[in-house]
Each structure stands twice: as C-alpha cells, then as structure tokens.
Amino acid sequence: MPKVIGYTPPWLSRPSPGAKIFSDPAPQSPSSPSKRASYLTAPTSSNDYQGPRRLIATRGTEIFTVVGNKIRWADLVSVRDDWEDGFQSGNSRSGLSRASDSDTQNHTYRTLDVSIYYKIRQMVISPSGSFLAICTEHTVHIAVLPPSSRLSENDSSPLKLKTYQLGPTIHVIPESPLASVLWHPLASSSNSTDCIVTITSEAAVRVWEIDRSNKWSFERPALAIDLRKLADGVSCDQDFEPSGFGKTRGFSVDDFDMEVSSACFGGHGRSDEDPWAAMTLWVAMRNSDIYALCPLLPSKWTPTPTTIPALSTAAVSRIASISIENTNQDERRAADQQYEWASELDREDTQLVESADSIGQREVCLRPQNPSAIPRLQGPFSVQPSDDDTDIEISDIYVFPTIIDEQEILSGEDDEDDLFNSSGTIPFTTVCVATPDNELWFAIDLDGVTGQWLPKKGRSAFSLPSADAKELTLIDTFALDDSLPGNTTNWPTFTVDVVHNYSIFLTSTNRVYSLSFNDWITRLAAEMNCAEGEDHGLKTRLETSAASPVCITNKLLETSEQSAEALSAPAIIDDTGLGYFLLTSTPTTPYAVSFDQAHLRASTIEPSSPELSSLSPSRILARLPEQPANDDIAALPSRSPYAPAGIFYVNHLQPLDNLRQRLPPNLKRVLVEKPMRLSPFTLEIMTAAHRTVSVQTSALENAASELFRRCERLREELGDQVKQMTDLAQRLQRLQPGGEEDEKGEAKVAKSHQDRIVEAKEKQAKLVARYEAVRRTVGRLSGRKRDLNSKETAWINEIDVLASAVGIGSDKEEEKPDNDRSRLDARFDTVCQGISTFLRSTLTKIPSQAKKLSSSLVEESQRVEKQSPALDQSVSSLSASTSLSRSRASIGTTASNGGSGSGSALFGVSSRLQKERIADVMAMVEREGAVIDAVVQRLDKLKVEY
C-alpha cells in the first residue's frame, strides 16, 4: 500500500498560479440550446448526473483538465519550477508580484478549444498519447493532441484542436447514454491510428478502428455487438448488430436485466498476464450480473512476446487432455474452436511496423476469421452467493488478471499446468465491484475465462443457455464508512494504480480511498502454487487465508465542502522529478496526496523469487515481507490542511450574467433602455434574480460560518495542547526516581536537581585532583634529577663492597649529572678488567700448585712406606686427603696473602669431616662466582638504561 507523506503541495494551493488551473474565473455558456426559452427558471443542474466523472487525464507530467466546459493543459514540472523560482526571489508567497500575476496566470496553463457544447463527463487519453476521447452523457469526440513542444509554446491564446465526433448518428442524445469508453490495450496504435471501444447502457458494444486519413472510420464502427441479441444467439452467422437510429424496438425483459453500468478489460497487455486477459471485456450490469466477451479484438492488433506461444500451448494441451468418452459435447467443441483459432494465428506471418514512440518496431497480427470475429457471451457471473437474496447495484468493476510464468512460455514448455503452478504465478482472476451504497464486493474466478464462439450455421449448436448464473468465489464484502443517505448522485469509481500491481483507488462523491490486495493475493497464490498431489493441510490453510483481512483500506482524502460539487476520478502520476502522487479536483479546487517512492530505492523478496520454488507453503509464508508495524507517529490522526471554500474565489457576477444572457433581446431592451415599472413581468424577473442571488449568498454564509468554526476549533485545540504541555512540565518537575537502591541495597534518598548538580561538580573536582596527582608522579619518575630510594642505595653499597672484595676501588665522590653516562661506562670497564685479571692470575697459579702438591704427596708416600704395613692404606688415604685440603687451602691463602706457607698437617682428622669441609669451600666458591655474574649483568643493565 502506498504510504502518504503529504497533501496538496504549495505550488497547487491558493494563491499560487498552479491553483488557477482548476478554477473558473470566466462566465460559462448556457447549458444547452433548448434552455434559452426558460429564461426565468434556473438552468438544469448538472449535479443530477449519475455516472463516472473522469475530468483529469495525464500524459507523463502533462495534465488535461475540464474547467466549466473548457479543457485546459498544463505541464506540472514547469508549474512547479516557475513557483520555486519565484518563491526564492521573495516577491510574495506565490513567488510573483501583483504586477506580473496576470501574465503568470496566462502562462501557467493553456486553453484547448474544442467544439463541445454539452457538459463533459469523461476524458480518456489513449495509451500512445496521440488521441483524447472527450465524452458527454451521449456523445464522444476524439481530439488529436499536438506534441508537448507545441503546447508549451510561449503563447497564451486558446489552441484549436482537431476533433472528430465518433458516430454522429449513433452516439447522439436520442440514443442510449454511454456507460464506458475504453481504449483497447492490444490495439495497433500509431500517431494516426488507434482502437477505441464504447459501451452504452443498452448493452451495445462497438469497436472503432479510427484512422485520421479515413473519416469514415469515425462514423461507422468496425465491429458492433448487441449483447442482448448475443445472449440468445445460437449461431455465429446471426446478425448481432444493434438497432440503428430511429428504429423501433419491442419490449424485452433484457431491457432491465441487461442495463450496463460499467465495463473494463481484464488486462493491460503485459507479457506476464494470461494471454486471454487483455482481449477479455468484462461487462457489469446494474442488477449485479457480470458478463465476459472473449476474445474481443480489432482487425489489427499487437500481441505481447508471450501471447501467441501461450495460446498455442494452451490450445494443444486442452485438446490432448480431453477424453472423448467422458467429455461434454460443448466442451469438446470449445476446445476444437480454440485450437482452430490458435492454429490460424500461429500460421499467420506477423508484420513489423514502427511503434508509436518511434523507438523500435512492433509486431502486428490480423484477427483470425475462424470461427468468427464475434465471440460468445459468457456468463452471467454472480458475485452473490445463491442463498443471498440481497439486491445490489453495481457502479464500477475492476479485474486483476491471472499471472503466468513467462519464462516457462519462452523456454518451450508444453505443459499447461506448469504455466500456472510455478513460483510467482497468480492462478486465479480477481474481480472487484463497487456499489452506489459504498460497498465493495471481492471475488475470485478459479476457472478463468478463455475464448469461446458460437458454432457455425448448420452445425450442431450449443445447448440453450442456462438461466442460472455461474457463481464466483466470493471472498469478502465490506462497506466503507462514508454512507451518504439520500445522495442519489454517488457513483464510486475505480482508478488503477500505476505503481503497485494489486492496488487501486476508489473515488466517491467527496472521498478517495486506497485499496491494497497485494498481501492477500500473494499469500493465497503461494498456497495454491505449492499444493502438489494430495495436501491434507491445504484446505485449512486456504480457510485461514480467507479469514484473514483481504483488503487494506486507507482513506486518503475527504473534502470539507458539503455542497453538490463531486470529486473527479483521480489521475496517478509517478515521476522521478515530481514524485508519486494522486491528483483530483472539484470544479473549483485541486486536491493532491503525495506518496513515498519506496519502489524506486528498495526491493524486497517477492514470492516469485526462484529460490522459493522448492519450499513448502509455510516456509514461503514465513519468507514473505511482513507489513511494517505502524509506529506511534504514523498512528496519529492526520488531516489535510484547510482549503478555503471555492465560493470565495468564483466569479460572483456569473449567476446574474447567465440570467441576463437567457433573456430575449426585446426584454433586455425593456430592462435597460426603459424606466422600471411595476408589472407582473418585472416582479417575475426580480423574483428570479432574488433566487439566483440568494443561492450565492447562502453559499457565502455557509463558507464563512465553516471558516469561523474552524478558527474556533483551532483555538480550542491550541489551548488544549498548551494545557497538556503545562501539565507535562509540572509532572516532570515532580518526577522522583522510583525503585533506585545503593550498593548496600538501601533506598536512595531523593535529591533535588540542585543537589544533584552540586554533587556532580564535586565528583568532577575530585577526579581533576586525582588526575593532577598522577600526572605529577609520572613526571617526577620520568625526570633526570630524582632521589634514590633505600633499596637502590643498599644495592649500590653492596656493589661497592663486592668491588673492594675483588680488588677494585670504589669511587665515593658524587657524580655530576652531566657525566653520569661516561662515569658508569668507565666503572663497568674497570670492573670487567679486574674480574678478567683475577681469573687469569688464578687460573695460571693452579698448575704450579698442582705440581707442588703432587711432589709433596710423592715425598710423603715414600716416607710412610718405611713405616709399618698395617697403617699403609689409611695413612696414604689420609695423607692424600690432607694434601688435597691443604692444596685447596693454599689456593685461597695464595689469593689473600700472595701464596705464603701452608697450614700444618691435619693427621688424625676423619675423611668424612674432610669431605664436608671441602664441600663447604666449593659451595663458597660457587656463590662467589654467582655474585660476580650477577654484578656483570647489573652493570650491563645500567649501561643500557643510562
């Protein structure tokens, strides 16, 4: 559903020049020539008309609108750009000064002069944009539209259009009024040719193949069908042409049962539609019956790329699936006729002609002559259930076509069922009807409508048509909320949405609605496409889908005027520059509703995505894009801005001028040239003038009172809003924190705003103080002039003691700051040299000491050998141990006092005690070596740090 983002833009609102496109400042001509004699009576009101009102037509960003009985043209892009340029200049709200207001008004729009005297009811522009059908209640005029460059010339004079009256002896006042005027979606159109279909209330359908080079094509239709005769026909060779002008007609029940109210084609001629859709004419009768004509084609028509392949595939598949024994004779004959018709179409050589837009070429086919050019009338179809006896009256009808998979068609598949069972297809036709009571009926046709013809004369004919109507599957019916009791002119009309495929707009007398069926149709199609074989849950899912909301309805616009001015059927414009909006109008005021262009900047996964083809229905429903939930802002009540009543801007002299124009010339001279005398004639004229003026003054009084009521309501609403804001401010002042607890789980004491601000400032000051303390500490640690702590001082003293122990003198002098690095390097080198010297001297003395020890041991052993043999082993071991201990001790003594003398002999000491002593000495040596290594490592670190 389109999302509303705004209403009437300022460049279309008063007093901007764009609003003057839809106003009527000039007096209007009399309503008809026959009314000139009744000069003292008011002219017949045009508000008694009950039928469609389509007074706005579009061609891109160009609009054609009816004001009074004149046609005006304007380019909305130029209107908006001129307003923006003038608004930026700051001359006035509308961007224009008063001096140039009249010039701007003349250049805002251009009047198109057409010779149409009666009240214009409808304007329908052709798809090619070359022709404009201008319709009154009984007549149709075809105007040839000039190109945009011609219309946008800087010329404010009226432009005379070339017009042709369609059927000057057929569509005339004594004949039946028009019900619908449609351009054929499959017509072979160009700048000079096109095809238009007219349907009258007396069920006469005429196909006009107009050609500018052939005036006879505007006088006689190429194909004329009387549906009342066709309903009773038994052979295609019968004469179904409607009765001519002036011919008497007998009474028939069909005069009441087959009174046409509206008609539409079942498709738009797109490649993804069912091939029968665009050539099917749906005709709705006032008594709620619906009929279909298929196929209804001009003699030359343009197929889509999938039309002929799809028709051929469907005809062959239907012939192959029919069983001779179990098939009805009528069904068999219909299948043969379709096969014959499709075969002739397939054998035909298509012609290539230039397209209307001169971009490329298009194919043109001739209508097959067999079985017949006139199809069989199918129906009646009924949207009401058989047990419903309610009488309804249809005002308009719209049909959503069946959607097929064009990829399957173009790939050469021959299975007809696959065309409607693949992912993304819509295997049913959706029918929507509206009633003058503002009710909507929504039904689907599961079987669809295909081509059918009456048999040839002489062959076995169809059986007599049954009086029972074929019931469509009624899905839902609902009433809108604008019931207008006693309003006999209400005629709801559908308008197609050019952006969304399953959205339409409904226009009643004073309201416009948006109707969206996209979610429901897509969900139901997904269930039906995924049902393969016997699915026991399909019925339940279908019932659930049927019970869900079928249509999303949104009231877009409502006019505040309660007068007889009815809204025109809107025009939908989708342009990247102007935006996506709806434009409608009353005879005096334009109305617009702007929508969001989400379709241009976002894409969602639709159920036609190939990746969903193998999923189950439940998964497909889960993957469908969900409707966004209405937020609080969107749920707020919105209304369009106030627009002043049109009576404030109309020409106030127009009613009296019309009354004066209706007077005969002799009476005008009596009133103008002669003095006023009291007479019945003068009294009658004064009474008529009083009636005319009283209508105008009454409208002014009502408009002024409505403005006063709106001002009063605005003041009251503003006061209520101020009061609400005051109450809200007081509640915020009294707002207390509820349920807050501290770290101990106790409730916090409520604090005022001032206390909380002071507390926050104190916390900030403490944080700043802590930051400054940390900053100073870091700066002091990183500076060069810092004092050593006790641990560092003790470590330095330990290094000095160790240095003195190894023979290195300690420097007690205080080092200067600038020579710290050099002094430490010198000290490190000195320590390294002392250690190396000590180790070198020690290692050189060890061999000599070992030699002395060995010689002394040899001497001692020789002396002991001379002693007794019993003590030989013990003495030798003791002497060896003693000698080893003495040699170790002599090494230490030599390092301390230059190696002078050895201790006395230790005879008599046990070997265990000797080993313990030796182990202690070795451990002491290892500790000293570890201390030296640690000192070297510390010196290296000091060298790196400094």
3-state SS of 186-204 is CECCCCCEEEEEEEECCCE
Dist CA 494 CA 514 (whole Å) = 10
pLDDT band at 433 (very low <50, low <70, confident <90, very high): very high
Dist CA 129 CA 770 (whole Å) = 81
| Residue 794: per-residue pLDDT | 85
Q: Which helix (H) or strand (E) covers residue 410, if one does?
A: helix 406-410
Query: What Cα–Cα distance (Å) separates residue 219 from each residue in 139, 164, 497?
Result: 12, 9, 34
Dist CA 779 CA 268 (whole Å) = 83
Dist CA 527 CA 538 (whole Å) = 7
For 288, the token pair is 């709620």
Dist CA 447 CA 433 (whole Å) = 19
pLDDT band at 878 (very low <50, low <70, confident <90, very high): very low
- Of 932, 940, 946, which Cα lies nearest the Cα of 815? 946
pLDDT band at 493 (very low <50, low <70, confident <90, very high): very high
pLDDT band at 467 (very low <50, low <70, confident <90, very high): very low
- Whether 11 has a pLDDT exceeding 70, the answer reads yes
624: amino acid identity, one letter: L
| More confident call, 894 vs 355 | 355
Q: Which helix (H) or strand (E) covers residue 7, if one does?
A: strand 4-7
| Residue 819: per-residue pLDDT | 57
Task: Using a pLDDT cut of 70, give the percent of the chain over it.
Answer: 71
| Residue 107: per-residue pLDDT | 73
pLDDT band at 535 (very low <50, low <70, confident <90, very high): low
pLDDT band at 335 (very low <50, low <70, confident <90, very high): confident
pLDDT band at 615 (very low <50, low <70, confident <90, very high): very low
Q: Outline where DSSP puts E strands in 497-597.
A: 503-507, 511-516, 552-558, 571-575, 579-585, 590-595
Nearest-10 crossing angle of helices 872-897, 820-865: 150
CA atoms within 13 A on the CB side of 197: 26
pLDDT band at 748 (very low <50, low <70, confident <90, very high): low
What's the DSSP call for residue 569?
Answer: P
Pairing of strands 70-75, 110-113: antiparallel
Which range (417-431, 655-669, 823-837, 889-903) has the least confidence?
889-903
Which range (349-363, 814-828, 854-868) has the least confidence?
814-828
- Whether 80 has a pLDDT exceeding 60, the answer reads yes
> Which range, 77-91, 135-149, 248-262, 851-865, is most confident?
135-149
Query: What Cα–Cα distance (Å) separates residue 513 from each residue in 4, 556, 920?
Result: 12, 5, 110
| Residue 61: per-residue pLDDT | 92
State the average pLDDT over residues 80-101: 63
- Whether 295 has a pLDDT exceeding 50, the answer reads yes
Determine whether 181 is exposed, middle or buried from the number of CB atoms within 10 Å of its CB (0-12, 13-18, 19+): buried
Give the 3-state secondary structure of residue 755: helix
For 467, the token pair is 């009086």
* Residue ranges covered by each domain of the chain: 683-712, 792-945
pTM beyond 0.85: the answer is no
Dist CA 196 CA 166 (whole Å) = 10
- Of 207, 192, 361, which Cα lies nearest the Cα of 299? 207
pLDDT tens profile 715-745: 999 999 999 999 999 888 876 555 566 666 6
pLDDT band at 903 (very low <50, low <70, confident <90, very high): very low
Q: In what order do the strands lie in the sheet with 204-211?
A: 178-183, 193-200, 204-211, 223-226
What's the DSSP call for residue 625?
Answer: P
pLDDT tens profile 473-482: 888 888 886 5
CB 324 within 8 A of CB 446: no
pLDDT band at 926 (very low <50, low <70, confident <90, very high): confident
| Residue 793: per-residue pLDDT | 84
Burial 854-875 (b: 16+ CB within 10 A, else e): eeebeebeeeeeeeeeeeeeeb
CB 461 within 8 A of CB 234: yes
| Residue 131: per-residue pLDDT | 95
For the chain, count helices (H), then strands (E).
22, 33
- Cα-based torsion angle of the residue sequence 141, 263, 567, 95 in order, rounded to the nearest 10 degrees: -60
State the average pLDDT over residues 359-377: 86
Give the 3-state secondary structure of residue 548: coil
Dist CA 461 CA 457 (whole Å) = 8
Dist CA 313 CA 319 (whole Å) = 10
> Which range, 376-390, 456-470, 692-706, is most confident?
692-706
Q: Which helix (H) or strand (E) covers residue 726, if one does?
A: helix 680-733
Tokens 């006023």 — which residue?
Answer: 676
Query: What Cα–Cα distance (Å) separates residue 59 from each residue in 130, 195, 942?
Result: 10, 18, 91
Q: In what order do the strands lie in the sheet with 552-558?
A: 493-496, 503-507, 511-516, 552-558
pLDDT band at 572 (very low <50, low <70, confident <90, very high): very high
Query: What Cα–Cα distance (Å) separates residue 553 from each residue in 4, 490, 513, 714, 868?
Result: 13, 19, 7, 28, 136
pLDDT band at 58 (very low <50, low <70, confident <90, very high): very high
| Residue 670: per-residue pLDDT | 72
What's the DSSP call for residue 566?
Answer: P
| More confident call, 161 vs 531 | 161
State the average pLDDT over residues 443-447: 88
State the average pLDDT over residues 847-855: 69
Peptide bond into 380 cis (omega under 30): yes
- Of 517, 628, 646, 655, which Cα lies nearest the Cα of 587? 646
pLDDT band at 832 (very low <50, low <70, confident <90, very high): confident
Neighbouring CB atoms inside 10 A of 886's CB total 18
CA atoms within 13 A on the CB side of 740: 7
- Of 140, 416, 421, 403, which Cα lies nearest the Cα of 266? 403
CB 335 within 8 A of CB 322: yes
Dist CA 435 CA 410 (whole Å) = 41
> Which range, 86-100, 304-318, 326-340, 837-851, is most confident?
304-318
> Which range, 179-188, 603-612, 795-804, is most confident?
179-188
| Residue 682: per-residue pLDDT | 80
Dist CA 15 CA 558 (whole Å) = 21
Q: Which helix (H) or strand (E) covers residue 338, if one does?
A: helix 329-347
Q: Which helix (H) or strand (E) covers residue 861, if one does?
A: helix 820-865
R_g of the chain, CA atoms, integer Å: 53
Dist CA 605 CA 623 (whole Å) = 8
Q: What's the first-to-final CA gap in the chain, in angstroms? A: 78
CB 578 within 8 A of CB 80: yes
Q: Which helix (H) or strand (E) covers residue 133, if one does?
A: strand 131-135
pLDDT tens profile 498-527: 998 899 999 998 899 999 988 888 888 887
Which range (121-125, 592-596, 772-776, 828-832) has the least confidence?
828-832
- Of 204, 56, 222, which Cα lies nearest the Cα of 123? 56
Cα dihedral 738, 740, 745, 746 sign: negative
| Residue 944: per-residue pLDDT | 52
Which range (29-33, 246-250, 334-338, 455-459) has the least confidence?
29-33
Mean pLDDT of the residues in the chain:
77
Dist CA 423 CA 607 (whole Å) = 7
| Residue 881: per-residue pLDDT | 46
